[in-house]
A and B are shown apart, each in its own frame.
Chain A
């Protein structure tokens, strides 16, 4: 695992059930735009970033198509996309209709084991203001 693969957390005060507590929250690094990702993939392959964008668009089109007919779509190494139904329960079988039972349908995602392991194996680093004067500690 590369040394720079780590997640940064920040300790914040929170009021939980009326009590003052401290909790670690994730501090996200910069957002990687789609263009940046396409450029990075292009740099590692023999393709142009435009070709990568085109491929991702084609991939998204296929994923949309399969999800719309209710199928799960697996991207190896990344995870599985599926239509996620939020349902309600009813007492009688006669009442189990689409209108009564389905609250919403959204896109669900189950991450692949490789992706989960990559995150589990990443280091953890606490964010402190002391970081600015070179006294950060890595755990």
Chain B
């Protein structure tokens, strides 16, 4: 399997007045060609910062302090801003949770889309418009010719997100980083967008990193999954295997707390406590304080190790030989 992107030991830290926040602290994963990789975690787990680090959008006081982001043999973390700009929006695109982060409210959609095309390619304006039109059609926007002339506020939330996805698709990127793109949408609209995305990934061979907190979305969409906790990947592997047989107690607990996994009316299995502050992470396993399996062994630093073929977990006491949650 040839990989589109390989992230090795990525560390992105924020140097704030209160101290160093290790938002991403040693993250490694691989995204295969044409594959959908689900990056799952709760708020503050560093999943969004990981996405921003890949596409080079980490602002001060944050900085990628260590690690490699390998794309076609080049380390994105070491590229100059100019080189990065020629890739961003061209070979690697991003979709944000809020489409208004992508769209300029005072410009018509066609202006913005044509600008995006011309930023990376020397084509005529007419051809650029044609490309924009096709992209809108591809994401299922009815009457794309008329919609090109609309302003963002004239679209509904779901339609705006489609426009943002269309812009990401303009240059047929090899990798799209999608940061919670359907979280703010209603379920029926979310279903529509997910269906479009699935179709696109299958038809164009684009790889996707799908950042979300919603395990159910990842279950239906992704090929592989990486679960993050407090700035680190605690478990990864093929989606079905990770969800059916989670190794890490955190993944185990997370899956167990999904309401549909519990008997109706019975108390939900819950993970006690809350996510630790990234400013003062305990030494060793960060999940230690909330983990039912923790003991002295967890005080030591844990490594992400291959415990089963193709399955990695960062745990001293993994759920290795057990039936699913």
Real binding pair: no
Interface residues of B (CB under 8 A from A): none
